[in-house]
Amino acid sequence: MNNRTLLNIAKEFGSPVYVYDADTIINQYKRLTSAFSKVNNLKINYAVKALSNISVLKLFNSLGSGIDTVSIQEVQLGLRAGFKPENIIFTPNGVSLEEIENVAKLGVQINIDNLSILEQFGTKYPNIPVCIRINPHVMAGGNTNISVGHIDSKFGISIHQIPLLLRIVENTGMHINGIHMHTGSDILDIDVFLYASEILFETAKNFKNLDFIDFGSGFKVPYKSDDIETNIEELGKKLSKRFNEFCKSYGKDLTLAFEPGKFLVSEAGVFLAKVNVVKQTTSTVFAQVDSGFNHLIRPMLYGSQHDILNISNPKGRERFYSVVGYICETDTFANNRRINEINQGDILCFKNAGAYCYSMASNYNSRYRPAEVLVYKGEAHLIRKRETFEDILNNQLEIAI
């Protein structure tokens, strides 16, 4: 998407606005499937939590993708988008047994990461196939906020609890049809991921009737021009070879599954915000935009860096700016960043805004959530309306005081 297209979108649909490029999503999906083309059975389950707009889900359904869900609401969104229940996996954490039971009634693949819930569910529903989420105790990324395979993580059943897990399976007679892990986001070293995969293979040997092994995801995408990313092609070559070897020794052709979110949609999205005012202080020049962490919280929550471009003045002289929002909290998107000269009314473009951006938006300070636009087959389509004051009041009940 070029600057002119983005400026036209900001003009037509207003700001702030999230914009997603369907072609980029399709290319990333094809890149991943191509990297694992040597595997006979490959299943990509898009992680809905990254970007849950129903039009984006329909795009993934058209590509032949499945989806990975973490709540019954995401399951319902997937069904509404046209996904068949068998193409949905439910991987919750800390939810009630009742929610898992309600999802199971929909015919969705269940993935359990808790021994207590596993025993309760297996006792009541021994004939419903269940996948087990293992914690391999491996840090694939470098940040404990986004790495979930380490020993102190709340996610997964510890590999040290496998004997107890096996006793539960034997006592309940339940059917385990899948083994799963997710080490976390921003995988830098594929050898660490492959090491964790070996732990998963060893675990899988304990179960004789598996249908699939799910390796999670967490593939790193570049957030700036010189940033590193997960080498998907190298990972595909090495893991495919090892997976095929395992299937041969296992005596069954299993499905290799992934659940990527950020890898598929992050680079496809940008966030456009208008500059309300440029404020000069004794030491800093602030570019204050019509947004805040109510719309894009990742820089404040994770310390993530998003490239910021002034698409209204792309050839202007570079100056140092701190880009901040309009929320009555410290909501700094960037400190002392080199950006082409910014003037009041300019449109700033935040890159890599497709994943975990709109899905984390809120109404803090009673601000409206922004609009969403999907560029599909060269046309910009509004896929979520900007909220209004009526939306703020929608579920509030006024009492007589």
C-alpha distances in angstroms, 146 versus 23, 70, 142, 213, 291? 27, 16, 8, 22, 25
What integer pLDDT is reported at residue 138 of this predicted model?
80
How many whole angstroms separate alpha carbon 239 and alpha carbon 24?
Answer: 25
What integer pLDDT is reported at residue 217 of this predicted model?
87
CATH numeric code, 36-262 = 3.20.20.10
How many whole angstroms separate alpha carbon 255 and alpha carbon 329?
Answer: 47
What are the 10-residue block averages of pLDDT along the chain, 401 residues in total?
A: 96 98 98 97 98 98 98 98 98 96 98 96 97 85 45 81 96 97 74 90 95 92 81 94 97 96 97 97 96 95 93 97 95 96 98 97 97 97 98 95 93
How many whole angstroms separate alpha carbon 104 and alpha carbon 88?
Answer: 11
Enumerate the β-bridge partners of residue 135: 158
Strands 17-21 and 269-280: antiparallel
Report which residue type is found at 107. G
Enumerate the β-bridge partners of residue 347: 274
14: left (phi over 0), alpha (psi -120 to 50) or beta: left
Nearest to 257 by CA among 189, 210, 208, 199: 210
How many whole angstroms separate alpha carbon 95 and alpha carbon 219?
Answer: 26
What integer pLDDT is reported at residue 186 of this predicted model?
66
What integer pLDDT is reported at residue 55 of this predicted model?
98
Overall pTM > 0.75:
yes
Q: What 3-state DSSP class applies to 18? A: strand
The pair of three-digit structure tokens given for residue 305, joined into one six-digit string: 């860096």
Q: Could you say which of 131, 247, 328, 349 is catalytic?
A: 328
Domain locations along the chain: 36-262, 269-383
Residue listed under structure tokens 């129903």:
54
Report which residue type is found at 394. N
Class assignment of domain 269-383?
mainly beta
Residues 6+ away with beta carbon under 8 Å from 163:
none
Report which residue type is found at 220. K
What integer pLDDT is reported at residue 151 of this predicted model?
55
Residue 328 annotated as catalytic: yes
C-alpha distances in angstroms, 27 versus 2, 235, 335? 17, 18, 33
What integer pLDDT is reported at residue 152 of this predicted model?
62
